[in-house]
Each structure stands twice: as C-alpha cells, then as structure tokens.
Amino acid sequence: MKSFTYERAQSPAAAAAAAARHPDAKFIAGGTNLLDLMKLEIETPAHLIDVNGLALDKIEPTQEGGLRIGALVRNTDLAADARVRRDYAVLSRALLAGASGQLRNKATTAGNLLQRTRCPYFYDTNQPCNKRKPGSGCAAIGGFSRQHAIVGASDACIATHPSDMAVAMRALDAAVETVRPNGATRTIPIAEFHRLPGNTPHVETALSPGELITAVTLPKPTGGVQIYRKVRDRASYAFALVSVAAIVQRDGTGHVALGGVAHKPWRLESADAQLPRGAKAVTAELLSGAKPTRENAFKLPLVERTLGAVLTEAKG
Amino acid sequence: MTSPSDFELSRRKLLAGTAASVALTAAPSIVNAQAPTIAEQNAAAGSATLKVSFTVNGAARDLTLDTRTTLLDALREHLHLTGTKKGCDHGQCGACTVIIGGRRINSCLTLAVMHEGDSITTIEGLGTPEKMHPMQAAFVKHDGYQCGYCTPGQICSAVAVLDEIKAGIPSHVSADLNTPVQLTSAELRERMSGNICRCGAYSNIAEAISEVAGRPA
Ligand SMILES: Cc1cc2nc3c(=O)[nH]c(=O)nc-3n(C[C@H](O)[C@H](O)[C@H](O)COP(=O)(O)OP(=O)(O)OC[C@H]3O[C@@H](n4cnc5c(N)ncnc54)[C@H](O)[C@@H]3O)c2cc1C
Ligand code: SF4
C-alpha cells in the first residue's frame, strides 16, 4: 500500500473542502472496497478523509412522505430498518443478497453506490485496463468475459457495476444528495448518477472532484409486490451474474431494473411500459441492441427466465 | 518435495532476510540522528504515523502506527494477539473476524486509526482455555474444525450471528421480512457464509452453533 496522510472530517462541508485542498485525497467510509483496492495499489490516494464521524447515519422521513438515508447508514441497518422492510422491501432484499454479514456491518450507503467493478482485469495490474489506466486498452474484450456487460458497453470497456443495492434504488427512483467543496448542495437522480463507459470508463459517476454524498432519498412508497432475484455461481456470498429488481402493481404495471448486465443499474422506462405484456416483451425492450460476447451470451436467456420467474412470483 | 527441516531452514533464512531489509531501510535516518522516533523513521521512508487509542478485550491500548496499518495487523503484529488470523487479507474468507461494539467485521479491511475509542473483542477476549465461551466449548465438543486456522473467525462470527438473530436482523433466506426471524439451519448457514473453511468442517460448525442457539442442527 502507498503511504498516505489521514484526517477525520468534522462536518460534511469541511470534508468536501478538505478534498479540494488535497487533489489526491479520497473519502473513506466502511473501507471495504477502498482498502481492498489500495492494498493492490489500484487506488493510491495520498490523503484519506475519514467521514465515519459525520452525523450522516440516520434514516429519516422526508416532507414528501419518503425516506432520507444518511450516506453513512450501514448496509445491515438499512436492510433491517422496519420502514424499509415494510415499504421498500426490494431494497432490503437487494442488500441482504450482497456480500457477507461482516461486510454489510461496515459497508455504507454511499460507499456501496461508489464501489468499483469486479472485472478481473481491473484487479490484475499486469493487464491493460482503460478503467484503471486510461488509454492502456481493455483485456476483457477478447479475454475471459463471462461476468461482463451485454448492454451499454463500449469499445473501451465492457465492465459491469457490481452493486445489488444500486439496482433496487434504480427501480425505486432514488436520488443522491451531495455537497460540493464550495458548500453548494445538489440532488442527482439515480438514473443519472452512474455513467456508461463510453471513451472514459474511469469516470464512473456524475460526481465532481471533492463532491461528498450526504444522503440517498427514496420517494413516497408506491406499494406493489417488490422482489429482488439474484442469480449467481453460489447460493450465497457471490456477485450477480444477473439480477432483477422488480416492483409490480396489481394491475400489472411497474418498474424493472437489472444488475450484472451493464456499467450501471439497467432500467428503461420504455421496457417498464411492456410489463403488462410479460417477461419476453420487457426483455426484448431492455436488451434491444445487446452486444454480448461469446462467453456471456448466456445472460440474454438468463435475464428473460429470471424476469419470467419474478413476474410469476409477483402474481402470487 | 521440501522436508519439514528444509521448510524450517528457509523460514529462518526468510526471517533473517526480513530483519536485514528492515535495518537497511531504517539506516539513512539512523546515520545522522541519535535516537530517531518511529515517526521520524517513517517520515524518512515517506510514510505517516498517528496515535490511536482503543480498548481490546477490556484493556485500554495506545499505539503509534503507520497510517497504513490495518486493524488486523495492529492486533497481531503490534499487540501480539495472534488468535485473529490473516487468511486472504481481502475480506473474502472471514478468518480475521473480530467484534466491535457487538458487531462482527473483517479486521483486514479497516485501518487501525479508524477505531479511535472503539471497544474491540477478539477470540482471546471471548474466553480462555480454562474458561471457554460456550461457543468455543461447542466447537471443541463438535469438532468444528480440522486445521483450526479459520476457527477464531468462525467463533467470533457465530457469537455475533446469534445476537443478530436476537436483534431481529433479517437475512437473505428469511421468508418474511416483517415477522420475527426463525432460528433455522438455513438461517445459520446463510449468515455464516462470510466465513470460509477450506477443510470443509461446515457440518460440525453448524452443529456447534445450533447447540449454542438451542436448536437441533
Ligand atoms: C468479498 C466481498 C464480497 C462482496 N460482495 C458483494 C455483493 O455480492 N454485492 C454487492 O453489492 N457488494 C458486494 N461487495 C462490495 C461491498 O458492498 C462494498 O465494498 C461496500 O458497499 C463499500 O462500502 P464502504 O462504505 O465500505 O466503501 P469504502 O470502501 O469506504 O468507499 C468506496 C468508495 O466510495 C467513496 N466514498 C465513501 N463514502 C463517500 C461519501 N459519503 N461521498 C463520496 N464518496 C464516498 C470512497 O472514496 C471510495 O472511493 C463485496 C465486497 C467484498 C470485499
Ligand atoms: S472491461 Fe473495463 S474494467 Fe475490465 S479490463 Fe476492460 S477497461 Fe478494464
């Protein structure tokens, strides 16, 4: 690990300002992704700003009837919150399908959104990777690509976003609240938060340098049957090959987001509109223009079958 | 094939080598100073140190550490509490599991300096050979290990799992999110999935935990 200096932030605005003062700084929350990558020298911050002391660890009702989840709320606490279990079950389910009990106890809401890809070539510093080293190439294209993206990828990068939580948040129309080094705050809809790789796969989100996530908000509960189905190589403690977050209303309308298929949680409102027509129609719309590799073409039928099973379960 | 004595030899050589390289890196700062502090030595080597105080197994501990030191390395290398094990060092195996403020975490994926004021329990703090924690005793009774390397992490994790169930925290296999968690074998196994046992002693581990939980495996 490269050497770094360390400070404990005193307020959200002070944390953002400190990040602006140290161009090579990173925030550290649970540390479960950042430290992993620092040990491999994939991340090499010269300064760490510990945000764990900030009072951003509460889940509170919003004026609009939704919930504001502090950036530091641990994944365990978010999944176990009685309001989330009752009104946003898809979010509880997605969190519980991710990582392990130990990791969920540390992992935070903001850190989970910002966790980096699990592409094995991103982790292997001997391999070219445009995300790790812009301009070096992409070893996954033409390499082992079983886990990689089938939609929204580019000639520069075919990585997927690994978060389960973010897929449920996309289906729930969440929004990300931030503060910037100049003190200005803004709200970014989750749909615009994660980016597609394009020619700059190292730029993964809409955040600007030094911008700190303070909370994630959920709109008023919409009811419906809420399901998160994750398909993976083991029954527990593995990243998704494909996952489906679905909110289905009694009249058959609803929202569907996919994990494991793209550089961001994948949802198209035009595909939601196909929900009353069934899994085949929704999948055709969601995956139109899909460009799988030979190794991950299995994800196309897997999405349709997983969604089919979810919609059958939703009918009860 | 290496015989056990070859291994001993190379291990000793390795230790000697490590000591030599430590002496080498420390050399420049020693040349022109009488007794450089750890902080000065590290600054010369381009690293930063910080003081941190926390409680381990009920005893107050103050350390001055390189900021890079993980909690795991602080426990093992600085406090010589070697019960907590280093397996993968990347949060994947659970051998480093400790309990902080009642919650189990992977001590390899957190920095020691992030734990100012925290109260940490390791396997040494759960019980002693003379006065074992019920979970330790159950692991012995049910032979919940073979080589024993993952065992401290398994036991710390298991103790915390039973508290998580008592606190009503649901899991991936809980059938209903809005009713109390059922104490089933599937629940225990799912909750223990962050602790890998390469010997595959899982069925005995499950029996040990089930006994302490008060249910048939
Ligand atoms: C073995 C293993 C298995 C896993 N399995 C899964 C899985 O199945 N599903 C899944 O979804 N995840 C999985 N994870 C990933 C885990 O969910 C993430 O590591 C975790 O959510 C990251 O949260 P953190 O708080 O620890 O982030 P950190 O490591 O502290 O930070 C991650 C990033 O977020 C930034 N950051 C943190 N807080 C803020 C803030 N407030 N504002 C701006 N930036 C911030 C940091 O600078 C860093 O770049 C797994 C991890 C491991 C190690
Ligand atoms: S897919 Fe993306 S992350 Fe993986 S090697 Fe290619 S550029 Fe890197």
Is the pLDDT score of A195 beyond 90? yes
CB of A99 closer than 6 angstroms to any ligand 1 atom: yes
Please list the alpha-helical segments (H only) found in chain B: 4-31, 38-44, 71-73, 123-126, 134-142, 151-166, 185-191, 202-213
A76: three-class secondary structure by DSSP: helix
The answer to whether B110 and B171 have CB atoms below 8 angstroms apart is: no
* Domain around A43: 5-52
- Number of structural domains chain A divides into: 2
Q: At what angle do helices B151-166 and B134-142 cross, to 10 degrees?
A: 120
Q: Is residue B154 part of a domain?
A: yes
Please answer yes or no on whether A102 and B157 come within 8 Å at the CB atom.
yes
Q: Kindly report the CATH number assigned to the domain that includes residue A287.
A: 3.30.390.50
Q: At what angle do helices B134-142 and B202-213 cross, to 10 degrees?
A: 140
Phi/psi region, residue B181 (left: phi>0; alpha: psi -120 to 50; beta: rest), is beta
Instruction: Identify which of A56, A244, A95, A72 has the alpha carbon closest to the alpha carbon of residue B169.
Output: A95
CB of A131 closer than 6 angstroms to any ligand 2 atom: yes
Q: Is residue A85 part of a domain?
A: no
How high is the ipTM of this complex? Answer: 0.97
Please answer yes or no on whether B111 and A101 come within 8 Å at the CB atom.
no
Across the interface, of B66, B91, B113, the residue whose CB is closest to A103 is B91
Looking at the DSSP bridge assignments, the partners of residue A138 are A129
Chain segment A247-262, per-residue pLDDT in tens: 999 999 999 999 999 9
The answer to whether A250 and A116 have CB atoms below 8 angstroms apart is: no
Contacts of A101 in chain B (CB under 8 A): 104, 157, 160-161, 164, 171, 191-194
Amino acid letter, A269: E
pLDDT score at B163? 97
pLDDT score at A23? 86
The answer to whether A29 and A52 have CB atoms below 8 angstroms apart is: yes
pLDDT score at B36? 55
pLDDT score at B41? 54
Is the pLDDT score of A300 beyond 50? yes
Instruction: Identify which of B92, B44, B48, B86 has the alpha carbon closest to the alpha carbon of residue B68.
Output: B48
The residue from A52, A69, A87 where one domain ends is A52
Q: Kindly report the CATH number assigned to the domain that includes residue B74.
A: 3.10.20.30
Q: pLDDT confidence of B72, banded at 50, 70, 90? A: very high
Instruction: Identify which of A187, A170, A184, A173 has the alpha carbon closest to the alpha carbon of residue A245.
Output: A170
Q: pLDDT confidence of A308, banded at 50, 70, 90? A: very high
Query: Dihedral through CA A294, CA A295, CA A301, CA A304, nearest 10?
Result: -120
Contacts of B47 in chain A (CB under 8 A): 3
Q: Kindly report the CATH number assigned to the domain that includes residue A35.
A: 3.30.43.10
CB of A169 closer than 6 angstroms to any ligand 2 atom: no
Chain segment B125-167, per-residue pLDDT in tens: 999 999 999 999 999 999 999 999 999 999 999 999 999 999 9
Give the whole-angstrom CA distance, residue B78 versus residue A125: 30
HSE-up of B56 (CA within 13 Å, CB side)? 24
- The secondary structure of A155-203 as a DSSP string is SS-------SHHHHHHHTT-EEEEE-TTS-EEEEEHHHHB---TT-TT-
How much is the average pLDDT of A193-212? 98
Q: Is residue A120 part of a domain?
A: no
Give the contacts of B37 (CB within 8 A, at least 6 positions apart): none
- What secondary structure letter does DSSP report for A56? -
Q: Give the ligand with the smallest distance to the CA of B106.
A: 1
Instruction: Identify which of B98, B16, B18, B20 has the alpha carbon closest to the alpha carbon of residue B54.
Output: B98
Whether residue B197 is found in the same domain as residue B162? yes
Chain segment A42-93, per-residue pLDDT in tens: 999 999 999 999 999 999 999 999 999 999 999 999 999 999 999 999 999 9
Measured in angstroms, how far is the CA atom of residue A309 from the centroid of ligand 2?
31
Is the pLDDT score of B12 beyond 70? no
- What secondary structure letter does DSSP report for B30? H
Chain segment A109-133, per-residue pLDDT in tens: 999 999 999 999 999 999 999 999 9
The residue from B74, B95, B126 where one domain ends is B126
pLDDT score at B203? 96
Looking at the DSSP bridge assignments, the partners of residue A229 are A244
Q: Is residue A269 part of a domain?
A: yes
* Cβ atoms within 10 Å, residue B7: 10
Q: Is residue B111 part of a domain?
A: yes
Q: Is residue B36 part of a domain?
A: no
A50: three-class secondary structure by DSSP: strand
Give the whole-angstrom CA distance, residue A88 versus residue A225: 10
Give the whole-angstrom CA distance, residue A23 versus residue A21: 6
pLDDT score at A316? 84
Whether residue B169 is found in the same domain as residue B196? yes
Distances (CA, A) of B95 to A302, B108, B111: 34, 9, 17
Across the interface, of A86, A105, A237, the residue whose CB is closest to B105 is A105
How much is the average pLDDT of A180-196? 97
CB of A36 closer than 6 angstroms to any ligand 1 atom: yes
Is the pLDDT score of B40 beyond 80? no
* Domain around B147: 127-217
